[in-house]
């Protein structure tokens, strides 16, 4: 039974190589956009992701033995034809993708000129220092404790009667 499953997987990989390429490009592009802190590499990942989608559209539009959908005047409309719609959609998407890439790279140049870095984590810290982004409340900081006190009535007890911060909330009662 295992040999049949393996043979089936090998058959799919060898006959449907465009779909395997689609899956690989999609995963690599998505990983680059999520995991990489560099903005230019995120744009490259976006381009890989877009290329995978283009490949999927073109592959799904393929018809074995199909011909162009041009029928001569007076001829019978018999035979298998290929739809030109996926190709038109991909051509339009390529133009949009190139425009998006150009705008993204122009913004990267502007960000680098302004802040001197393209790393998202460094940019986030610079924007927090600048005051453009609010500070994140961290567990155990005074801001988080003040918010907890406000939510439980503001008596500073944390909701437990008789508990204090000095003894960790444990009482001798």
pLDDT tens readout for residues 12-40: 777 778 888 999 999 999 999 999 999 99
* CA dist., res. 154 & res. 113, Å (int): 46
All residue ranges of the chain with pLDDT < 50 are 158-173
Long-range CB pairs of 55-61 (<8 Å, 24+ gap) are: 55/18, 55/21, 55/22, 55/25, 56/19, 56/22, 57/86, 57/89, 57/90, 57/93, 58/86, 58/87, 58/90, 59/18, 59/19, 59/22, 60/86, 61/85, 61/86, 61/87
Question: For position 154, what pLDDT does the model report?
Answer: 52
Question: For position 76, what pLDDT does the model report?
Answer: 74
Residue 116 vs residues 44, 101, 131: alpha-carbon distances, Å: 20, 21, 18
Question: For position 1, what pLDDT does the model report?
Answer: 57
Question: For position 107, what pLDDT does the model report?
Answer: 97
Alpha-carbon dihedral angle through residues 138, 142, 147, 151, given to the nearest 10 degrees: 120
């Amino acid at each position: 039974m295992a040999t049949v499953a393996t043979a089936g997987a090998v058959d799919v990989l060898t006959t449907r190589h465009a779909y395997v390429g689609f899956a690989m490009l999609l995963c690599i592009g998505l990983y680059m956009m999520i995991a990489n802190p560099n903005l230019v590499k995120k744009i490259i990942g976006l381009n890989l992701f877009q290329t995978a989608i283009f490949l999927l559209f073109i592959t799904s539009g393929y018809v074995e033995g199909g011909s162009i959908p041009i029928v001569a005047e007076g001829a019978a409309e018999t035979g298998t034809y290929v739809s030109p719609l996926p190709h038109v959609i991909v051509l339009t998407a390529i133009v949009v993708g190139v425009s998006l890439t150009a705008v993204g790279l122009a913004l990267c140049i502007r960000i680098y000129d302004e802040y001197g870095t393209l790393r998202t984590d460094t940019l986030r810290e610079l924007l927090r220092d600048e005051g453009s982004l609010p500070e994140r409340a961290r567990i155990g900081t005074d801001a988080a404790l003040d918010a907890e006190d406000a939510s439980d009535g503001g008596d500073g007890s944390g909701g437990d009667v008789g508990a204090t911060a000095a003894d960790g909330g444990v009482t001798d009662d």
